[in-house]
Structure 1
């Protein structure tokens, strides 16, 4: 089990990796969405926002507007770190029950293109 700090560092790395996606791909596949990433074994949730110009840094406090996230991920801390480091494939984790995603079908298809 990883720590909250290690999960925060992994999410920061994910933000950096997202910056490496081409502007063309982001323009095709990204629409603005609020994100929630719940780390089940730590009982902590990180909140972020994805948009065409990037992925905002994740925070442990919900957005001030109080609107719920459109894309919600639930996973264990070690799985988060393994996925961000490229050691665990998102598709395999999803179909193996290690990651749960609550999002519309359209959002799932768009995100799949980016992962």
Structure 2
């Protein structure tokens, strides 16, 4: 939103709390104990440190670089990079998923996943 002098950010093209029938609905509802892969793509010219609360993931692949098989809760996704993050939904609850740059998080690049 250049006319206001700042940008709005989004996850799945929806800023938090987005224009949806239920703006507080989770991004995904996951089954406790099951394995999942999150496909993420950064379509912006900025890097985004993506952080998942409550669980850890392993970076499975990147479209731009070789990845180390490290377990973490944060990944710095580069501009035009596609990544796959694998994890087990082993912690029940509502868990924040967001960009760790506070200006990006506060202006919409925030959501959460539900594990039940």
TM-score (norm 1): 0.26
Structure showing greater radius of gyration is 2
Greater length-normalized contact order (CA 8 Å, ≥ 6 residues apart): 2
Bigger share in strand: 2
Bigger share in helix: 1
